[in-house]
Structure 1
Amino acid sequence: MESNNKFRAIDFFCGGGGMTCGLRQAGIDVIAGVDFDADAKETYEHNNPQSVFIQADIKRLRSNFFERKYAIKPYDDNLILVGCSPCQYYSIINTDKEKSMKSKDLLKNFARFVEYYRPGFILVENVPGIMTNKNSILPYFLNKLKGLGYENIIYKVVDMSKYGVPQSRKRFSLIASRISGLNLKMPTEDSTISILKDFLGTANGFPKIPAGNKDLSDFNHTTAGLSDINLKRISRTKHDGGSRLDWANDMELQLPCFIGKDDSFKDTFGRMWWDKPAPTITTKFYSISNGRFGHPEEDRAISLREGATLQTFPKNYVFKTNSIAATAKLIGNAVPCEYARRLGISIISSNI
């Protein structure tokens, strides 16, 4: 979609560009994306050629950087600052506490730029845990916004399967504005949820492939390989929603760590359902041992392109990376493009 030449955005913690892509689809001019991850640069710039990737640690980036470099002036009513900071600290699947501590206060660093530029709009997306964790930075951030004149603040936890994204992906969303008289609203829920069969399968352009398939084209219908024992496990897992319980009584296939724990980690080694949303696409979606990431009927985990499609990246979005893991990281960490587009539309329509 062509830019409406009115709203502009800077996308902090942009990663591979999911939020930027969606905002551009809504007609918003994304000036720049900021991220510390050098692996994201080529992917971001290739797919978003009108946006500049700034590789920087937000903690060390000067507040006036965008004013000096891109002539961004404070108090621009049509400027959107986006802060979808990494969320390991607040995630229920967090495993590395020490590493995750680095993500705990990133919103405080983002608030420094909000204070300097006082943009018309603020947009934040994060995990639901940011609302419930007793050590959350959210109360500080909300008080900071109010102190800076952002009286119009709306936020809620949404299930993205109700917003055109075929995942049971629950996320905290916030839109704030300092402009009075706006009709600020979250995107409207769909009347039906989005489900897998409307996005994946041969009818949607995904030919059948085996585990370990290497697709060297930009489509990247690539899958991780499976060991012989895991091939046996996935072949014994019932199509369309089967689980590891299908072979729990087979001593050759059962894993010792799961003996007597049928009610724990039930999604591990499971298959997705055609008629349901996918589970949350994580950075490990290419591995059947890391969740319910098995294809509904083929004996493999979902491919990189299938994961990207479930994150609603366009099928011509090219991931410029050197490994399955690096690609999956960019995909799993992204804000789904379709939800980002709807957030952008909500901001554009707030003063109509």
Structure 2
Amino acid sequence: MHFQENKIKAVDFFCSGGGMSCGMVQAGIDVVAGVDFDLSCKQTYETNIVGAEFICADISQLEETYLENKLQLKRNDDNLLLIGCSPCQFWSIIKTDKKKSKKSKDLLKEFRRFVEYFNPGHVVVENVPGVLQKQKESGLEEFILWLRNNGFAVHADIHEVSNYGVPQHRKRFTLIANRLTTKELQPVQRNGKKITVRDVLGEQNGFAQVSQGHKDKSEFMHSVAGLNELNLERLNLTPHNGGTRMAYVHDERLAPSCHYGNTESFKDIYGRMFWDKPSPTITTKFFSFSNGRFGHPEENRALSIREGATLQSFPKTYKFIGNSTANIARMIGNAVPPTYARAIGKAITQNYDKWQNLKQEQEL
């Protein structure tokens, strides 16, 4: 494996379908490998992150020396960036079944093992906000302490991705650690108005009007889930551009039984998105009308696979390869939005370039 000198090279742990890697490449970083235990992501990852190798492994079973030899990595390498966006359901503040996700709770500690071994120039951790609220239990507090004690300047905070050019509301915990300078690096913010659903979806942006159940066999994947008669009727009554289930909340036949007469909670369920706002958080169930405000602003259907990917800020040329719609939607919904990843990457490359220039001046 040949690395360019004076260029940051990255290994992306828990890489999934490559959202973080995609943004890092856009920022000018050479992503050499992605590590994930889900083999179904391999084709998508290697097709889009050109030149990077997908290493299918359970991090708890992965040896530091294996990675060192396989990727010809060096320890204490100022050019190396290690990224860890571990699956985060256990630390999510959303009430989910924690038994299923319990095995993911120590993944940050496993990632730390590689950081301690390689001592790279930069480290990135991206996760749900809940990991910060439970930083003692998740191992985050201890990890940050270790980084600071070992000469890293550490930024660790929660960021709203719509401030960085992503057409979606999504709060994420982000840690950027930098060993090369004393500067605490933050994702590079985008100036100007927030990007909205109208800016990226609709016919003017290449999304033809389609009906529920539409199957698109091309790589564009403008495919839409089917709807039953009842949901079609509900959508028909839901006002365009941000309408909600309030349109039929007092209709005993149409209102879902658990929401009948309830005008206070879960207003987004069965709702339409607004044209002129960023979308709600794109989850792994974004293609299902009944799982959130995932109704199209005016067409009587849920989001298509490509629309969900676009709201996650994936390039329209990004190829998703999977064995089912649910598998691909999971890759998209779980991804770090590439445009946000690029904002993180830009902070790192700008810092690295300044450091390089300073080094060269000192050598003169």
The normalised TM-score by structure 1 is 0.96
Aligned match of 1:132: 133
2:243 aligns with 242
1:141 paired residue number: 143
Partner of 1:322: 323
Give the conservation status (yes or no) of the 8 Å contact 2:9–2:31.
Answer: yes
In structure 2, relative to structure 1, the CA distance for the partners of 1:250 and 1:116 (3 Å cut) is: same
Which residue in 1 is equivalent to 2:161? 160
2:55 is paired with a residue whose SS is strand
How far has the Cα of 1:94 moved from its partner?
4.2
- Summarize the alignment of residues 292-303 of structure 1 with structure 2, pairs less than 5 Å apart: 292-303=293-304
Query: Do 2:250 and 2:260's aligned partners in 1 also have CA atoms closer than 8 Å?
Result: no
The whole-number CA distance in structure 2 between the counterparts of 1:164 and 1:244 is 30
CA distance in 2, matches of 1:5, 1:334: 29
Corresponding position: 1:350 with 2:351: yes
Cα deviation digits, residues 324-351 of structure 1 (max 9, x gap): 1011000000000111111111101014
Q: For residues 245-304 of structure 1, what are the alpha-carbon distances to aligned partners after superposition, in whole Å with 9 as ceiling and x for unaligned? A: 111122221111112432121110000000111000000000111100000000010000
Q: Secondary structure at the match of 1:59?
A: helix
2:219 partner amino acid: D
d(CA) in 2 for partners of 1:201, 1:268: 22
Distance 1:119 1:270 in 2: 45
Pairwise CA distance, 1:181 = 4.4
Contact 1:104–1:137 (8 Å) recurs in 2: no
Query: What is the identity, as a one-letter code, of the residue corresponding to 1:86?
Result: P
Provide runs of 4+ in structure 1 moved above 6 Å.
none
Percent sequence identity over matched residues?
A: 53
Query: Could you say if the C-alpha distance between residues 296 and 4 of structure 1 is closer, same or farther in structure 2, counting changes exceeding 3 Å?
Result: farther
Q: Is the 8 A contact 2:245 2:269 kept in 1?
A: yes
Report the CA distance between 1:189 and its aligned residue.
Answer: 4.3
1:246-325 matched pairs, under 5 angstroms: 246-325=247-326
In the TM superposition, residue 237 of structure 1 has moved relative to its aligned partner by: 0.6
Letter matched to residue 140 of structure 1: E
Give distance in 2, aligned partners of 1:347 and 1:49: 21
How big is each residue's C-alpha offset from its partner over 1:128-185, in whole Å with a ceiling of 9 and x where there is no partner? 11111363322122123234x1430012211111100011101111100222345633
One-letter amino acid matched to 1:284: K
SS in 2 for 1:9: strand
Query: What is the Cα deviation at residue 99 of structure 1?
Result: 1.3
Number of aligned pairs?
Answer: 349
- What is the CA RMSD across the aligned residues, in angstroms? 1.5
Alignment of 1:36-75 (within 5 A): 36-75=37-76
Alpha-carbon distance change, 166 to 12 in structure 1, aligned in 2, over 3 angstroms: same
The reply to whether residue 192 of structure 1 matches residue 197 of structure 2 is no
- Distance, in Å, in 2 between the alignment partners of 1:209 and 1:9 is 40
**Structure 2 unaligned residues grouped into runs of 5+:** 355-364
Give the aligned partner of residue 32 of structure 2.
31
* SS of equivalent to 1:234: helix
Q: Deviations over 1:20-40 (max 9, x none)?
A: 111111111101000011111
Do 2:23 and 2:341's aligned partners in 1 also have CA atoms closer than 8 Å? yes
Residue 66 of structure 1 and its aligned partner are, at CA, apart by: 2.0
1:35-69 per-residue CA deviation (whole Å, 9 max, x = no partner) reads: 01111111101111210000100000001122111
Mapped partners of 1:327, 1:266: distance in 2:
27
Query: Who is 1:217 aligned against?
Result: 218
Matches for 1:74-89 after TM superposition, within 5 Å: 74-89=75-90
Partner residue, 2:16: 15
Deviations 1:55-101 (A, max 9, x none): 10000000112211121010000100000111101213341210121
- Specify the alignment match of 1:104 in structure 2: 105
